[in-house]
A and B are shown apart, each in its own frame.
Chain A
Amino acid sequence: MSPSEAAVTHRISDLLGASVAARDGREIGHVNDLRLAPGQAVRGVHVELVVEGLIVSDRHAGSMLGYDRRAEQGPWLVRAVVRRLHRNARYLPWSAVDDMAWTDRRITVDADKLMPL
Chain B
Amino acid sequence: MDGTVAGRRYDAALNLLDRQIIDPDGGLVANVDDLELTERDDGRLVVTALLVGPGVLGPRLGGRLGHWTVAVWRRLCAEENPKPGRIDAADISRIDSGVHLAARPDDRGVDGLERWVDEHLIGRIPGATHEPE
- What are the interface flags for B73-107 relative to A under an 8 Å C-beta threshold, 1 for contact and 0 otherwise? 00000000000001011111111000000100000
Interface residues of B (CB under 8 A from A): 2-14, 16-17, 34-39, 44-49, 51, 56, 59-60, 86, 88-95, 102
Query: Which of B2, B13, B47, B89 contacts A16 (CB under 8 A)?
Result: B13
Docked-complex contact B38 and A35, CB < 8 angstroms? no
Which A residue sits closest to B39, measured CB to CB? Answer: A8
Docked-complex contact B13 and A3, CB < 8 angstroms? no
Q: Which residues of chain B come closer than 8 Å to A39, judged between CB atoms?
A: 3-5, 46
Which B residue sits closest to A97, measured CB to CB? Answer: B43
Docked-complex contact A11 and B13, CB < 8 angstroms? no
Query: Which of A8, A33, A52 contacts B4 (CB under 8 A)?
Result: A52
Q: Which residues of chain A come closer than 8 Å to B35, judged between CB atoms?
A: 11-12
Q: Which residues of chain B come closer than 8 Å to A9, judged between CB atoms?
A: 36-39, 48
Number of A-B residue pairs at CB separation under 8 A: 133
Docked-complex contact B12 and A12, CB < 8 angstroms? yes
Provide the bound-state CA to CA distance between A70 and B98, in Å.
21
Q: Which residues of chain A come closer than 8 Å to B8, judged between CB atoms?
A: 38
Docked-complex contact B5 and A40, CB < 8 angstroms? yes
Docked-complex contact A46 and B92, CB < 8 angstroms? yes
Docked-complex contact B4 and A44, CB < 8 angstroms? no
Docked-complex contact B2 and A95, CB < 8 angstroms? yes
CB-CB under 8 A for A10 and B39, given A33-B12, A39-B4, A47-B7:
yes
Docked-complex contact B3 and A40, CB < 8 angstroms? yes
Docked-complex contact A44 and B7, CB < 8 angstroms? no
With an 8 A cutoff between CB atoms, is A103 at the interface? no
Docked-complex contact A11 and B38, CB < 8 angstroms? no
Query: Which of B6, B7, B36, B89 contacts A43 (CB under 8 A)?
Result: B89
Docked-complex contact B44 and A11, CB < 8 angstroms? no
Provide the bound-state CA to CA distance between A14 and B65, in Å.
18
Q: Which residues of chain B come closer than 8 Å to A48, judged between CB atoms?
A: 46-47, 89
With an 8 A cutoff between CB atoms, is A45 at the interface? yes
CB-CB under 8 A for A46 and B34, given A9-B48, A10-B39:
no
Docked-complex contact A46 and B5, CB < 8 angstroms? no
